[in-house]
Amino acid sequence: MSDTTTTTTTAAPPAAAPPPVRIVLADDQPLVRTALRIVIAETEDLTVVGEASDGAEAVRLAEETAADVVVMDLRMPGTDGIEATRRITAGRTGARVVVLTTFDDDDNVYGALHAGASGFLVKDMAVDAILAAVRVVAAGDALIAPGVTGRLIKEFTRRPREGRDASPTGPTAAARRLAERITEREQEVLTLVGRGLSNTEIAERLHISLGTVKTYVTRLLAKLEARDRVQLVILAYEAGLVSTG
């Protein structure tokens, strides 16, 4: 007579869903904040933890609520969106900033780039696209609205900047030195990033896998000490790899 052993297996509990992205809405127009708040309330992965009507309040709420992302208007009374973005990105909260503005009417969007914004969106974008951009930025990447990149970079390269060569649109010496630190293939990838191509489009253009593109982008971020994809785009223009034309 043989002994039999019965083994009981217990199914592993399902993995807990990650906590929702914590968002602060900063806009001096209550209707804009209300519209975004209503839409965000219908999502499971995003939540509004604060609303600000000026930049100073946005900075305070970013700190007090431990926000992941601040959706920031630029033109607000008192402390404007650019200064608020600078304070938030320079702080220790780790909050990232998505600028949501009417780009055609707001030349100050240029300053938000230097202040550390990780996203540049326009208010006439579809709400779903805005929420998708918030998710991208919260995940550590950066995003510039289609149609904004070229104009933003053209404005950036047009303005004089410390360290720039005699030609106001020429590559800076610092950018050239950084470009010299990367391989020929990395330079190809950086050029395509500067042209606004997505990782998938770069993979198709260079006939390499998507994973390989992601590896190259990660290396570029490390080698060039860039915070995110936005800075890579700017560097590509400053280094002369992409023409503003």
The H-or-E segment that residue 87 falls in is helix 81-90
- Work out the widest C-alpha separation in the chain, in whole angstroms: 95
Last residue of a domain, one of 146, 175, 207: 146
Which tokens go with 240?
């002369």
Quote the pLDDT of residue 162. Answer: 44
Q: Tell me whether residue 82 is in a domain.
A: yes
Q: Is residue 50 part of a domain?
A: yes
Domain boundary among 114, 146, 178: 146
Domain count along the chain: 2
pLDDT, tens digit (0-9, with 9 covering 90-100), for 181-191: 899 899 999 98
- Residue 31 sits in a domain whose CATH number is 3.40.50.2300
Residue 85, domain extent: 21-146
Quote the crossing angle between the two packed helices 229-238 and 149-158, to the nearest 10°.
50
Give the pLDDT score at 118.
Answer: 85
Closest listed residue to residue 198, CA positions, set 122, 245, 141: 141
**133 and 48 both lie in a single domain:** yes
> Same domain for 129 and 53?
yes
Q: Are residues 31 and 140 in the same domain?
A: yes
Instruction: Based on the fold, state whether residues 104 and 177 are members of the same structural domain.
Output: no
Residues 135 and 80 in one domain: yes
Shared domain for 130 and 182, answered yes or no, is no
Taking the C-alpha atoms of residue 142 and residue 136, their distance in angstroms, rounded to an integer, is 7
Q: Is residue 15 part of a domain?
A: no
The answer to whether the Cα torsion of 7, 8, 14, 16 is positive or negative is: negative
Question: SS3 of 244, please?
Answer: coil
Strand boundaries in 27-159, DSSP class E: 46-52, 69-72, 96-101, 119-122, 143-144
Same domain, 53 and 110: yes
Q: Which two tokens stand for residue 202?
A: 């770069």
pLDDT tens for 94-140 read 899 999 887 655 566 667 777 888 888 888 888 888 998 899 888 88
Nearest CA among 191, 69, 176 for reference residue 119? 69
Query: For the sheet containing 46-52, what is the strand order?
Result: 46-52, 21-26, 69-72, 96-101, 119-122, 143-144
Distance, in Å, from the CA atom of 221 to the CA atom of 179, rounded to the nearest integer, reads: 12
DSSP lists the bridge partners of residue 89 as none
**C-alpha–C-alpha distance, residues 121 and 143, integer Å:** 8
Number of H helices and E strands in the chain, helices first, is 11, 6
Domain end among 91, 117, 146: 146
What is the C-alpha separation between 110 and 161, in angstroms, rounded? 12
User: Do 35 and 141 share a domain, yes or no?
Assistant: yes
In a shared domain, residues 27 and 136 = yes
pLDDT tens for the chain, 245 residues long, are 555 555 555 656 666 778 999 999 999 999 999 999 999 999 999 999 999 999 999 999 999 999 999 999 988 999 999 999 999 998 888 899 999 887 655 566 667 777 888 888 888 888 888 998 899 888 887 777 656 666 665 666 565 554 444 444 455 676 677 767 899 899 999 989 888 787 888 999 999 999 999 999 999 989 988 877 877 877 887 787 876 55
